[in-house]
Amino acid sequence: MVTPTELNILVDTGSSNFAVAAAPHPFITHYFNTALSSSYQLTGRTVAVRYTQGNWEGELGIDRVSIPKGPNGTAVINIAAILSSEGFFLPKVNWQGILGLAYPMLARPDASVEPFFDSVVQQLGIPDVFSLQMCGAGLSASSTDDPAGGSLILGGAEPTLYRGPVWYTPIVEEWYYQVEVLKLEVGDQNLDLDCREYNMDKAIVDSGTTLLRLPINVFSAVVGAITRSSLIQEFSSGFWDGSKLACWMKGETPWRFFPKLSIYLRATNTSQSFRITILPQLYIQAVTDVDSPLDCFRFGLSSSTNGLVIGATVMEGFYVVFDRVQRRLGFALSNCAVNGGVALSEIAGPFSAADVASDCSSGAPKEPLLWVISYALMAVCGAVLVVLLLLLVLPCRRRDRFGEITDESSLVRHRIK
Ligand SMILES: *[C@@H]1O[C@H](CO)[C@@H](O)[C@H](O)[C@H]1NC(C)=O
Ligand SMILES: *[C@@H]1O[C@H](CO)[C@@H](O)[C@H](O)[C@H]1NC(C)=O
270 lines ligand 2 (CB under 6 A): no
d(CA 121, CA 129): 9
Q: Given this model, what pLDDT does residue 233 score?
A: 64
Ligand 1 centroid, distance to 159 Cα (angstroms): 20
String of DSSP letters for 230-252: SS-----HHHHTTSS-EEEETT-
- Is the CB of residue 380 less than 8 Å from the CB of residue 398? no
> Which of 269, 273, 352, 356 is the best mutation target for the ligand 2 pocket, counting ligand atoms within 8 Å of the beta carbon and taking the most?
269
CATH T-level fold of 130-352: Cathepsin D, subunit A; domain 1 (2.40.70)
Domain with CATH 2.40.70.10 in the chain: 1-125+365-417, 130-352
The mean per-residue pLDDT over the stretch 205-213 comes to 92
> Which of 72, 123, 126, 392 is the best mutation target for the ligand 1 pocket, counting ligand atoms within 8 Å of the beta carbon and taking the most?
72
pLDDT digits (tens, 9 = 90+) for 230-273: 776 677 788 999 988 888 888 778 888 899 999 999 999 999 99
Q: How open is the CA angle 343-297-381, to the nearest 5 degrees?
A: 70
268 lines ligand 2 (CB under 6 A): no
CATH of region 1-125+365-417, choose from 3.40.50.2300, 3.40.190.10, 2.40.70.10, 3.40.50.10330: 2.40.70.10
Q: Which protein residues touch ligand 1 with a CB less than 6 Å away? A: 71-72
For the cut 50, the answer to whether the pLDDT of residue 373 exceeds it is no
pLDDT digits (tens, 9 = 90+) for 54-67: 899 999 999 988 77
Q: Which residues, 6 or more positions from 227, have their beta carbon under 8 angstroms from its beta carbon?
A: 233, 235
Whole-model pTM: value is: 0.86
